[in-house]
Structure 1
Amino acid sequence: MDKFYHSVRLDEALCKGCINCIKRCPTEAIRVRGGKASINNKFCIDCGECIRVCPHHAKHATYDKLDVMRQYEYTVALPAPSLYSQFNNLDDVNIVLNALIRMGFDDVFEVGAAAELVSEATRQYISEHEGQIPLISTACPSVVRLIRVRFPNLIPHLLPLNPPVEVAAVLAARRAMEQTGLPREKIGIMFISPCPSKVTYAKAPLGTEKSEVDKVLAIKDVYPKLLACMKAVGSQEDYPQIGTAGKIGISWGHSGGEASGLFTESYLAADGIENVIRVLEDMEDQKFTNLRFVELNACNGGCVGGVLTVENPYVAEVKLKRLRKYMPVARSHMDDNPEDMIRWTTGVQYEPVFSLGGNLMESFSRLNQVERLVKKFPGLDCGSCGAPTCKALAEDIVRGNASERDCVYYLRENLHKLSGEISGLADDLEENRGGKETLNLIKEYLQRISDEMSLLDKKEDEKDDRTGFGE
């Protein structure tokens, strides 16, 4: 599998060439050229922010449809804790779990139960690795991918434990094979996900060679079908109590939930990709030496804020907190499960995708070129060139993917210079009473002005289309 596999895709037919996505992308992975956006696969971390802000729905997440359940003889649903937060007046997770069985799954394994195992393993790992502190949570795949490409100095601080969804998948597959006697390939382990980042993880995981998750369904697809099944379950006087997660596991669905299960006050929890980047920058500057653990979620509010959910993330967080109120602290423990399924089997390697050159000398040389180009540009970061910032445009030019003439303001300044030079030539021609060479120069400059004016008109039209000022 391609290490730069992505679940966030672009539909060019729907793209209008606006600049909403390029201004919000945290890794500057998107450019708008020729009236259409494009996504740089090496820069993208599948946070889904472009899906959230695109007014034309040109960005979308790829995931599996519900009919994939028919591909297997036996299917197991892995509901994320954030799934419970999508429903009104839910007071028992067993209603959702039994509804999943009624919906067509043969078994259910709560990701929240696996989260409690990861919490216990994290507490143990922190106590054994004081020199590695602060440790950074690896539960959010987008955060891990961000660190891999942008913050190489922080890779040693990554908690080398599999995310709860992977642990749940391993345990669910083992249980299904024991109970049914079926070979692994006939069993479908299906995660019900709140975000595209988990889809990418299932296809190209970090920390393990291959994920045990076979398919990833979207909460927004499961939600409407699950509602009807939940009504049927709720009407029963007695339904099976199959839930195996407690407060700690359910809390992983919102920001701060993972850290709260570590029983320490020396932690930091941040959500929202811009806030995550700010925290990582501060960590690089060694501003958090007194912390033991850092929980980071790319989505606002944590997993409840994923783009594949249906409920407002802040309302969903309140629902989760109310739901867990009378639950036991934890129901799953490491004593009953082997630790080998939780630890990473492979490391995370730095991917220098933002490097400007193939070696250090070339990178420094190109960086100097970027700095010189940036001084030429107005520093407005308007996005009219199709890049999010003037610096990003300069880097594109150095990489050979753009030109100085992509900047509208640079074009306009060039026209003023050409006009001044023509004026000087005209004066020279008048003083010398002719001169074939001067006339040829004037013709050349006039042609250049005509070309620059045509390009400027095109750029201005594109700018108006993006901003709406031309309507």
Structure 2
Amino acid sequence: MNTKPIYTIENDCMDCYKCIRNCPSKAIKITEQKASIIDELCIYCGRCVSVCPANAKQIRDGVSRVKQLIKSGTTTIASVAPSFRSEFPHFTDEEFITQLTNLGFNYISETALGAQIVTGHTEQFLKARNKGVYISSACPGVVELIKKYYPQHVVNIIPFLSPMLAHAKSLKANGGKDTKIVFIGPCIAKKAEADNWPSLVDTAITFNELKEWINESDKPETNSKGKTIDFYPERATNGNIYPIEGGMINTFGKGTNNLLKLSFAGIDEVKKVLNTLNTIQHDGPVFLELLLCEGGCINGPGCSEDNNPVQRKIEILNSKPKENTTKKENPILLNIECDYFGQNAVILPDYKPEDIQEALYSIGKHSPKDELNCGSCGYNTCREFAMATLSGMAETNMCVSHLKKIAHHQATLLLKKIPSGVILVDSDLNIKEINQSCLNMLQLQNNFDSQHINSDLVNKSINELGYFTEHFTTAIHTGKEYNQLPVVQNGKSFQLSIFNIQKYKLVAGIIQNFENKEFRSDIIEKRTRIVIKKNMETVQKIAALLGENASFTDSLLNSILTDYSEENSNHLNTDSESHA
């Protein structure tokens, strides 16, 4: 069973590094080309889950735990985040309560009640401050980010429980400490927060998990006629608007002394704020509502992605009562004080310049101009990637530009070593590649210096070669392929094979001269297999990362090997017949 809020199904990982590119804390480690999440570095923003094209990043299942709690017979209360109205707009409040009651919950309560408690405490706290910067504790992702990466700002977090925890404490105060609390909301980070506070919240599930649970449930709808269907123990008021950006600060009343209230949402914006927190200047206290998700909790990673963002916000705003009804209890009476000290912050290693330089050398970065900073490895810069390799978070073969160079050099060397002639021709009938064996076979070595093949012949028309023009033209224009075709050109006998690399765009030709007995020996097949074995792993890696631009190498080599095998078999049969 997976115990962490987010985990990787390693067999499904496609080695694309998209999770690293999108991870704000670079909490992804690559081992043997498979990504895994380092929990100590993770802030549970859920970006890796959202962007993974193979669905290899998964959120820990919480429904199984909830079913066990309900089955145990203990009073179980669902604490539902106020963003449920934007996620389940097709349900009225009464219908939504009925759905959850049918699943087995004894009571359905709004987490917004806890938000109202937090607002009340926060207002009283800020009224007693004349200066300073204070950060809301409502977003667990922001709290994780600060504790792990900005520990100097832990002192700035408002010293109160989050709305989820405050609500759970209130429910347990009313129903008894044995009451089981299940949080249902849009947030993955709430799973980690619940793990850290097991005495208050028994488990947390996302809206997406709830949807799947409702869809798979075959329990008939309960007849609600004559019954009062409402939230326990009362309906929330202003706390309903917490899920949208600026929602919390809009629940504040008037009378705070020169208080400046600001809201920022989105990881990038939040990090900018934290990076410049010490430079804030204001005559009075500054309260910052920081939310990890852009637009607020209505866009959390535990929500569906197909809803209208405008309509989401409308649903939340419409849920706020026009008048602030009188609360049944004074939320200040509940003690929700806490501090956020004590967690070990992430300590980034400080590498020596020479160590970083050596790591850069290992990926072919010998000067600043070699540092492309292309981001294909998932890191923003080559230097950042080099440090990741030093820390063991990354592997050198993640650098695509370096692998591309290696593959190019190895493919070039391979073409030189292959005794068959090899020609690559594009859709314009221009030669894109030709090896020295081909020049020797066609006796063109005097016309084209092996040291200057690229400048002398590459990108020139196949017509200038003086051989096989009609065959390559037909192959390009019609997509036709030739397999071991006997060809006589300029008084010489050859065997020609042409196959498509990209149909109508790029073809490869393999030429053999049977007058040379070297080509009839089985040593060729053995030699080719050895060379391919040494080089194919790199070539296949490039093919996977770069697609069709590099994948032709694999096809080319395997075709050559097949030709050798068939040719040797044919020659052995011919030799046997002649001896007979």
| 1:270 partnered with 2:264 | yes
CA contact (8 A) 1:273 1:299 kept: yes
Aligned to 2:341: 348
Q: Distance in 2 between matches of 1:458 and 1:288?
A: 59
Displacement, 1:190?
A: 1.1
Instruction: Report Cα offsets for 1:59-94 as digits up to 9, x if no partner.
Output: 111131152321342211111101122233656x35
- Looking at structure 2, the residues matched to 290 and 453 of structure 1 have their Cα atoms a distance apart, in angstroms, of 67
Correspondence for 2:300: 306
**Pair 387,34 (structure 1): closer, same or farther in 2 beyond 3 Å:** farther
Asked if the contact 2:19/2:48 (under 8 Å) is kept, the reply is yes
2:109 alignment counterpart: 109
**Match status 1:219 vs 2:214:** no
C-alpha distance in structure 2 between counterparts of 1:451 and 1:287, whole Å: 65
Query: How far off is 1:317 after superposition?
Result: 1.8
Shift of the 27–168 alpha-carbon distance from structure 1 to 2, 3 Å rule, reads: same
In structure 2, relative to structure 1, the CA distance for the partners of 1:174 and 1:111 (3 Å cut) is: same
User: Which protein is richer in helix relative to its size?
Assistant: 1
Q: 1: distance between equivalents of 2:315 and 2:275? A: 32
Q: 1:372 to 1:332 in 2, by over 3 A?
A: farther
Corresponding residue SS for 2:330: helix
Assess if the C-alpha contact under 8 Å between 1:7 and 1:61 holds in 2: yes
Residue of structure 2 in register with 1:463 after alignment: 545
Q: Whose radius of gyration is greater, 1 or 2?
A: 2
The residue correspondences of 1:329-340 to structure 2 (distance < 5 A) are 329=324, 331-332=326-327, 335=330, 338-340=333-335
Give the structure with the higher percent strand.
2
Per the alignment, in what secondary structure is the counterpart of residue 169 of structure 1?
helix
Alignment-mate amino acid for residue 146 of structure 1? L
What is the rounded CA distance, in whole Å, between the counterparts of 1:199 and 1:390 in structure 2?
Answer: 34
Q: Does 1:251 align with 2:237?
A: no
Runs of 5+ unmatched residues, structure 2: 413-530, 553-580
State which of 5, 8, 21 in structure 2 corresponds to 1:7.
Answer: 5
Query: Could you tell me whether the CA contact under 8 Å between 1:95 and 1:233 is conserved in 2?
Result: no
- How far has the Cα of 1:115 moved from its partner? 0.8
Matched, 1:37 2:35: yes
Equivalences for 1:187-202 in 2 at 5 Å?
Answer: 187-202=179-194
Contact 1:384–1:407, Cα closer than 8 Å, also in 2: yes
> Do the aligned residues in 1 keep the contact of 2:45 with 2:301 (CA within 8 Å)?
no
Partners of 1:282 and 1:35 in 2: CA distance: 37
Inter-partner Cα distance in structure 2 for 1:174 and 1:16: 48
Q: CA deviation at 1:161?
A: 0.7
Shifted more, 454-463 versus 59-68: the winner is 454-463
Q: Which amino acid aligns with 1:306?
A: G
Inter-partner Cα distance in structure 2 for 1:287 and 1:454:
60
Distance across 2 between alignment mates of 1:166 and 1:313: 30
Matched residue type, 1:171: S
The yes-or-no answer on 1:239 pairing with 2:233 is no
Q: Which amino acid aligns with 2:86?
A: S
Alignment partner, residue 142 of structure 1: 141
Letter in 2 for 1:355: L
- Pairing of 1:22-421 with structure 2 (within 5 A): 22-65=20-63, 66-68=66-68, 69-88=70-89, 93-131=93-131, 133-177=132-176, 184-185=177-178, 187-205=179-197, 210-223=198-211, 236=225, 239-242=228-231, 244-263=234-253, 266-286=260-280, 292-310=286-304, 312=307, 314=309, 315-324=311-320, 326-329=321-324, 331-332=326-327, 335=330, 338-340=333-335, 342-344=336-338, 346-349=339-342, 351-356=344-349, 363=350, 366=352, 369-370=355-356, 376=366, 378-385=370-377, 387=379, 389-400=381-392, 407-410=399-402
By how many angstroms is 1:158 displaced?
0.7
**How far off is 1:303 after superposition?**
1.5
1:218 and 1:468 mapped to 2: Cα distance? 42
Q: Matched residues in 1 for 2:322 and 2:296: separation?
A: 21
Q: Deviations over 1:162-194 (max 9, x none)?
A: 0111111112122223xxxxxx44x32111121
State the structure with bigger RCO (CA 8 A, min sep 6), 1 or 2: 1
Give me the whole-angstrom Cα distance separating, in 1, the residues matched to 2:319 and 2:281. Answer: 36
Shift of residue 220, structure 1, vs aligned partner: 2.1
Query: In structure 2, the residue corresponding to 1:78 is in which secondary structure?
Result: strand
Give the number of equivalent residue pairs.
Answer: 415
Maintained 8 Å contact 2:186/2:300: yes
Assess, with a 3 A threshold, how the Cα gap between structure 1 residues 54 and 388 changes in structure 2: closer, same or farther.
farther
Q: Closer, same or farther in 2 for the Cα pair 1:410/1:118, shift >3 Å?
A: same
Partners of 1:322 and 1:88 in 2: CA distance: 11
Contact 1:153–1:284, Cα closer than 8 Å, also in 2: no
Provide the identity percentage: 24
Aligned to 2:480: none
Q: Which moved more, 1:295-304 or 1:191-200?
A: 295-304
Give the whole-Å Cα distance in 1 for the aligned partners of 2:299 and 2:33: 30
Cα separation, partners in 2 of 1:396 and 1:168, compared to 1, 3 Å: same
TM-score calculated relative to the size of structure 2: 0.62
Q: 1:38 to 1:235 in 2, by over 3 A?
A: same
**Aligned residues of 2:260 and 2:284 also touching (Cα < 8 A):** yes
**How many angstroms does 1:58 deviate by?**
0.7
Q: TM-score by structure 1 length? A: 0.75
Q: Which amino acid aligns with 1:215?
A: T
**In 1, are the aligned partners of 2:81 and 2:112 still within 8 Å (CA)?**
yes
Q: Distance in 1 between matches of 2:88 and 2:408?
A: 62
Letter of the 1:35 counterpart? Q
Q: Deviations over 1:386-445 (max 9, x none)?
A: 6554233221233355566753445677899999xxxxxxxxxxxxxxxxxxxxxxxxxx
Judged with a 3 Å threshold, the aligned counterparts in structure 2 of structure 1 residues 188 and 246 are, in CA distance, closer, same or farther, namely closer
Does the 8 A contact of 1:113 with 1:331 survive in 2? no
User: Given that residues 14 and 56 in structure 1 are in contact (C-alpha distance below 8 angstroms), is that contact kept between their aligned partners in structure 2?
Assistant: yes
Kept in 1: contact 2:101–2:107 (CA 8 A): yes
What secondary structure sits across from 2:41 in the alignment?
coil
